Amino acid sequence: MGLGGCIILIAVGAILTFATDWHMQGVNLDIVGVILMAVGLIGTATFSGIARNRRIVVPSTPVVEEEPHHHHRADGYTDGYGV
């Protein structure tokens, strides 16, 4: 579950706890809402902890460019192709 799912759980739990006055026999919607908010908060904390550890620092390695090898002919001229 991603961060968006955790936020949705928190929102649905808050709506069930604070914004509804439904009464279902055998189900306490206030408790269900508090449970959903708690699960959403735990998921958010877990996701942020995992996301913090997921950052990988790649050490930069210097790029070494080789100079082209010019073969000189016996008469002092190069072959013109850099080889």
Of 38, 34, 42, nearest to 17 (Cα)? 34
The confidence score (pLDDT) of residue 21 equals 87
Please give the average per-residue pLDDT across 56-66, as a whole number: 70
Question: Is the pTM above the cut of 0.85?
Answer: no
Least confident range of 4-13, 42-51, 59-68: 59-68
The DSSP output letter for 19 is: I
Rounded to whole angstroms, the Cα distance separating 19 from 13 reads 10
